[in-house]
């Protein structure tokens, strides 16, 4: 853990970000911070500063709005992310996508591995790639390990849409964007999504845009 009272460069960066008290600026694709593995959290932020930072991540995620936000997306190269999804979607969509409410939580040093061989493909977007969505095939269930913001161990299996969210955010901490895993032919603007691809699954998009689903 970090030495008590030490002011790390990352701590100074976080203090600077928190100074105005509002939602944090979100880094867009093209910034190198999104393409480098984040530094494992090992006490670089004192508990009070960590609590303020994760609260700011929560406010920023909600204001965007989004269902997850990684520290690297606000320019802080620490292996920390927040997730939350109230799942305000029609029942048909919720059933098709396995989208169930995901209460707010902080993920510290998360790592995931597939929990079974099934894969599911759906459109994803990203706050760091505004205006676009694409279909990503991912494991339908994953085992996530790590810790929470209090250092308590995390070892949990996520399924359905929550599994997709934790994979997306953990990928950010590895320097991976969802576009790296996406089907290129599925790339669609938000306008095209609203006009054409609002179905619960991407089956129609796959047929008309010419790509395969798992």
- Count of other CB atoms within 10 angstroms of residue 201: 17
Question: d(Cα 174, Cα 76) in Å, to the nearest integer?
Answer: 13
The tokens for 29 are: 């694709």
- Whether residue 169 lies in the annotated active site: yes
Place of tokens 């308590």: 152
* 150 assigned ligand-binding residue: no
For the stretch 127-159, what's the b/e string if a residue is b when 16 or more beta carbons lie within 10 angstroms of its beta carbon? bbbeebbbbbbbbbbbbbebbebeeeebeeebb
| Of residues 138, 128, 143, 131, the one with CA closest to residue 181 | 138
Sheet with strand 80-85: strands edge to edge: 68-70, 80-85, 102-114, 141-147, 153-159
Instruction: Please identify which of the residues 124, 149, 169, 183 carries the catalytic annotation.
Output: 169
> 37 to each of 25, 62, 116, how far by Cα in Å?
20, 25, 26
* 126 assigned ligand-binding residue: yes
The tokens for 98 are: 């396995």
* 172 assigned ligand-binding residue: yes
Question: d(Cα 174, Cα 168) in Å, to the nearest integer?
Answer: 10
Q: Which residues are annotated as a binding site?
A: 126, 168, 172
Instruction: Provide the annotated active-site residues.
Output: 169
Q: Which residues are annotated as a binding site for Fe cation?
A: 126, 168, 172
């Amino acid at each position: 853990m970090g030495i008590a009272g030490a002011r790390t460069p990352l701590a100074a960066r976080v203090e600077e970000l928190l100074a105005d008290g509002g939602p944090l600026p979100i880094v867009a694709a093209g910034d190198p911070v999104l393409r480098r593995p984040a530094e494992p959290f090992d006490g670089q932020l004192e508990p009070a500063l960590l609590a303020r930072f994760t609260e700011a991540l929560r406010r920023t995620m909600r204001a965007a709005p989004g269902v997850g936000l990684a520290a690297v997306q606000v320019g802080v190269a620490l292996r920390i992310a927040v997730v939350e999804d109230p799942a305000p979607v029609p029942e048909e969509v919720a059933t098709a996508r396995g989208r169930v409410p995901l209460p707010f939580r902080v993920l510290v040093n998360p790592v995931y591995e597939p929990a079974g061989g099934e894969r599911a493909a759906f459109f994803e977007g990203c706050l760091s790639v505004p205006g676009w969505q694409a279909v990503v095939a991912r494991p339908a269930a994953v085992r996530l390990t790590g810790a929470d913001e209090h250092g308590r161990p995390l070892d949990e299996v996520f399924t359905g849409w929550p599994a997709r969210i934790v994979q997306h955010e953990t990928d950010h901490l590895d320097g991976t964007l969802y576009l790296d895993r996406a089907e290129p032919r599925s790339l669609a603007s938000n306008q095209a999504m609203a006009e054409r691809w609002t179905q619960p699954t991407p089956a129609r998009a796959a047929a008309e845009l010419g790509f395969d689903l798992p």
